Amino acid sequence: MQLLLHQIIINEFKSNGVVAANDNLSSSLSISSPIVMERNSPLSASSSPSSPTATTSTTQSSVFDVLPSDCQWNMNSQYKHDRTMMFVTGKNDYLQLVAGEKVIYDFTCHLDQQLKFSLDDVIHIANGDNHSIFLTSDGKAFGIGSNTQGQLGEFNVEFGVLFEIKIKQSKRGRITKVACGSFHSIILNSDGSIWVTGDNSFHQLGIEVDHLKCFTKVEFQQDSPISHISTSYSHTLCYSERDNILYSMGTTFGDDTEYFTPHRLTFFDDKDFKLTSVNAGYRYSAFLTSNHTVYIMGKIEKYNVFEPTQLNLFEPLVQVFSGGKHLFLKTISNQFYGLGMNDDKQLPFSKVITGTIEPQLLQLPTHEQVSDMAAGSYHTALTTSSGNIYVCGWSELGQTGLGKNTITADCTPLSLDPSVVLDISRGTTSVKLFLSSSADNSFILLKRAHNIGRFYCRLFHSVLSCNSLCDVKIISHPADHTATTEAKK
């Protein structure tokens, strides 16, 4: 009976597309103990917000020090708060983190009622030096923060108030991607058009003006739909996957060459592959190809790379995470490598002192493995297979959430409730990290897998008092030691 229920649980995980962070789901999933844990995952504050303690680079800091009482997964709440939660920390002088002090030193929680959209629908968060843009799954974008240089693309922006960004000149399509530089913003429409606004000091907007106050369409020489965008402090990358055309705008190379309007980069034209992502760092660019290789160019660490140069690794690469002056590479075997500057300890678990142009394997000192990560201006965040969230790097503006007195931090795990760590490790709570090469703050989304909770209610209604959700009968057959489960939703 127990083995059958065990198999039913695993099959339900697979059928719902929920994959545990660790590979061996079968061996890690037990029938007796985790059932209540999966359903009841309290996020409890470990210390009072009224009495913060000084933190050093080796001290754990609670993510939930300032967690409001209604922002908890309570053991007895029966999923009353079963919704996505957003935690923010760092520079907040224009309320680009939605609410709070000018600098937030410990992760603070936001819920849906504070926003104009559901956090369940958020698919990306782009943030600049003092503004943020949220992209939702229905193709809408919402902005908040400073608009002093037109970076939010509206003439009348109310301070600290979220508003929906609308491209008035665009008559069709929906927003599919957003990207923020330090003081500018870029939007990709579903028709392949690019719209830009904000500061244009380096001509990173591809239009020959000093700045733009509203979103303006970029004109390209070839009529090619753009599919990938990325931007940073002084340059922008746009790529058409259909036509295999790469454009650059602004300061692209290490010699500070500037392109006033979209300039076609022809290096990849004669290659037998396409680009699957383009990534703009502070003064460098990185390109991931369909052949699972990565090329970099620009200024990284103390080296100037004047044309795209392939990084040599012994296995295929599947993802690139670009920060200000550092970046990370993920291989097909789930190994992570880092390169670039490390003067603020932004390369975690590496032996690099100041920086490197050669990719270095990130080796955690425990049995854990990195499962996902994000790179900020001078800081880094990552999640592990065991459900921990680590942060490191420059934190003078609170961007690591490790407390007010932390200037730079070695890779330090955030203090999470053990049940939350368990949920993350099994995939029943997903973590999304949003850091930007142009911003000194961090966003973390924690999203509960609703279908898993409902499944446990269906299967164990007599234990968990879920009679209102389902009607389940478990029929045992002692003769042949088999069992069947009948469920009526």
Check whether 194 has a pLDDT greater than 90: yes
Q: Are 272 and 289 in contact (CB under 8 A)?
A: no
Cα 183–chain centre separation = 20
Cα–Cα distance between 415 and 65 in angstroms, integer? 10
Confidence of residue 452 (pLDDT cuts 50, 70, 90): low
Residue 455 host element (H or E): helix 450-459
Mean pLDDT of 280-287: 95
Check whether 17 has a pLDDT greater than 50: no
In degrees to the nearest 10, what's the CA dihedral of 143, 146, 149, 155?
60
Check whether 455 has a pLDDT greater than 50: no
Cα–Cα distance between 459 and 470 in angstroms, integer? 9
> What CATH number is attached to the domain comprising 321?
2.130.10
Check whether 15 has a pLDDT greater than 60: no
Angle (nearest 5°) at CA 393 between 423 and 56: 85
Residue 205 corresponds to which tokens in the numbers above? 């907007």
Q: What is the pLDDT of residue 416?
A: 87
Task: Tell me which DSSP letter residue 402 carries.
Answer: B
Structural domain range at position 41: 2-131+142-160+257-460
Residue 378 corresponds to which tokens in the numbers above? 């001078």
Mean pLDDT of 39-58: 31
Q: Which residue in 306, 271, 275, 304 sits closest to 289, CA to CA?
A: 275
Residues 122, 11 share a domain: yes
Q: What is the 3-state secondary structure (H, E, C) of 326-361?
A: EEEEEECCCCEEEEEECCCCCCCCCCCCCEEEEEEE
Range name among 34-38, 48-52, 57-61, 330-334 with the lowest pLDDT average: 34-38
Is residue 411 one of the residues assigned to a domain? yes
Mean pLDDT of 69-87: 51
Strands 429-434 and 408-413: unpaired
Share of the chain above pLDDT 70, in %: 73
**DSSP, residue by residue, 248-280:** EEEE-STT--EEEEEEEE-TTTTSS--EEEEEE
Tell me how far apart the 2 most distant CA atoms of the chain are, in Å: 82
Beta-bridge partners for 327: 322, 339
Check whether 38 has a pLDDT greater than 80: no
Q: Are 186 and 173 in contact (CB under 8 A)?
A: no
Mean pLDDT of 172-198: 95
Cα–Cα distance between 114 and 95 in angstroms, integer? 13
Task: Look at residues 240, 256, 272 and tell me which one is the last residue of a structural domain.
Answer: 256
Q: What is the pLDDT of residue 255?
A: 55
Considering only residues 351 and 423, tell me which one the structure prediction assigns the higher pLDDT.
423
**DSSP, residue by residue, 91-116:** E-TT-TTSSS-SEEEEEEEE-GGGSS
Range name among 239-243, 274-278, 346-350 with the lowest pLDDT average: 346-350
Cα 217–chain centre separation = 27
Q: What is the pLDDT of residue 167?
A: 86
Residue 255 corresponds to which tokens in the numbers above? 């010699």
The alpha carbon dihedral of 190, 191, 192, 197 has a sign of: negative
Is residue 244 one of the residues assigned to a domain? yes
Residues 380, 299 share a domain: yes
Residues 300, 233 share a domain: no
Is residue 441 one of the residues assigned to a domain? yes
Is residue 468 one of the residues assigned to a domain? no
Cα–Cα distance between 46 and 239 in angstroms, integer? 46
Strands 336-341 and 471-477: unpaired
Confidence of residue 252 (pLDDT cuts 50, 70, 90): low
Confidence of residue 240 (pLDDT cuts 50, 70, 90): very high
Total domains present in the chain: 2
Task: Look at residues 216, 239, 256 and tell me which one is the last residue of a structural domain.
Answer: 256
Considering only residues 483 and 213, tell me which one the structure prediction assigns the higher pLDDT.
213
Is residue 482 one of the residues assigned to a domain? no
Predicted TM-score (pTM) of the model is 0.78
Q: Are 150 and 464 in contact (CB under 8 A)?
A: no
Residues 425, 302 share a domain: yes
Cα–Cα distance between 222 and 242 in angstroms, integer? 12
Check whether 175 has a pLDDT greater than 90: yes
Is residue 49 one of the residues assigned to a domain? yes
Confidence of residue 254 (pLDDT cuts 50, 70, 90): low
Is residue 429 one of the residues assigned to a domain? yes
Considering only residues 4 and 470, tell me which one the structure prediction assigns the higher pLDDT.
4
Residue 7: exposed, middle, or buried by beta-carbon count in 10 A (0-12, 13-18, 19+)? exposed
Residue 422's φ and ψ, nearest 5 degrees, are -60, -45
Beta-bridge partners for 251: 258
Residues 192, 269 share a domain: no
Residue 483 corresponds to which tokens in the numbers above? 């069992």
Considering only residues 71 and 44, tell me which one the structure prediction assigns the higher pLDDT.
71
Is residue 480 one of the residues assigned to a domain? no
Residues 267, 125 share a domain: yes
Q: Are 451 and 18 in contact (CB under 8 A)?
A: yes
Cα–Cα distance between 90 and 398 in angstroms, integer? 4
Cβ count within 10 A of residue 280: 27
Residues 426, 310 share a domain: yes
Residue 386 corresponds to which tokens in the numbers above? 């065991």
Mean pLDDT of 357-374: 89
**Contact residues for 372 (Cβ-Cβ < 8 A; gap 6+):** 382, 383, 431, 433
Residues 39, 172 share a domain: no
Task: Look at residues 224, 256, 288 and tell me which one is the last residue of a structural domain.
Answer: 256
Residues 415, 289 share a domain: yes
Residues 192, 104 share a domain: no
Residues 146, 31 share a domain: yes
Residues 266, 241 share a domain: no
Rg, the chain, Cα only: 24
Type of residue at 328: F
Residue 242 corresponds to which tokens in the numbers above? 């259909």
Cα 193–chain centre separation = 24
Residue 68: exposed, middle, or buried by beta-carbon count in 10 A (0-12, 13-18, 19+)? middle
